[in-house]
Amino acid sequence: MNEMVEEVFSSLKEDLEKAYLHQQNEYLVIRAGRANPHILDKIMVDYYGVPTPIVQMATVTVSEARILNISVWDASQLKNVEKAISMSDIGITPNNDGKVIRLAFPILTEERRKEIVKQVKKICEDTKIAMRNVRRDALDMLKDLKKDGTLSDEDEFSSCEKEVQKYIDKYTDLSQKLADEKEQEVMKV
């Protein structure tokens, strides 16, 4: 396999891995009825004029199965952290006692679990769409290599196409397995 073709496959693997990691990170943020510190990952607090993630300005711990404690290092920022959590879309009201902010995760209803499962499936489908786009891009690059003579014959192009499909199949299977695991986690009472 020549250098240009190896570059195509290197790019393919990297892009598929990025899509899969993105799906994993999205699933970390989805709450399944238990306290999960990752739910705060995307929340930014206005910290002296600079948008700052909560984990960079506080210690986040799970004190009980459904309670998250946030100990802000700079006590003057408690109100800002509380406000940022309230304004976020995590659906949990923070409880500020003047020293620590507590997030009590409610027990999920059957209806809410089904909504979360829909969200899990949508993220999985979005990931698969991204992977198909990666496949299309890789095949386009291989076609360009065939046009300019880097890929010498139809057989070489065909074997490269099959190799691309193997990677796509592998990563879509991983994506589906991850979605199935998250769905089971959400539906577990």
User: For the segment 23-60, what is each residue's pLDDT rounded down to a tens digit?
Assistant: 998 888 776 667 778 888 888 998 888 898 988 889 88
Alpha-carbon distances, residue 115 vs 13, 22, 27, 40, 99 (angstroms): 32, 20, 14, 20, 34
pLDDT of residue 23: 93
Distance of CA 18 to the CA centre of its chain: 10
pLDDT of residue 118: 92
Do the domains spanning 3-29+109-187 and 37-104 agree at the CATH topology level? no
pLDDT of residue 124: 95
The yes-or-no verdict on residue 148 having pLDDT over 90 is no
pLDDT of residue 189: 63
pLDDT of residue 1: 60
pLDDT of residue 177: 96
Indicate the average pLDDT of the chain: 87
What tokens were used for 126? 């979005």
Which CATH entry fits the domain spanning 3-29+109-187: 1.20.1260.10, 3.30.950.10, 1.10.132.20, 3.40.50.300? 1.10.132.20
Beta strands in 65-100 (DSSP E): 67-72, 94-96
User: For the segment 88-143, what is each residue's pLDDT rounded down to a tens digit?
Assistant: 877 788 888 888 999 888 777 888 888 889 999 999 999 999 999 999 999 999 88
The domain 37-104 having CATH identifier 3.30.1360.40: the answer here is yes
The yes-or-no verdict on residue 149 having pLDDT over 90 is no
User: For the segment 69-85, what is each residue's pLDDT rounded down to a tens digit?
Assistant: 999 898 888 888 888 98
The domain ranges of the chain are 3-29+109-187, 37-104
CA distance 82 to 41: 15
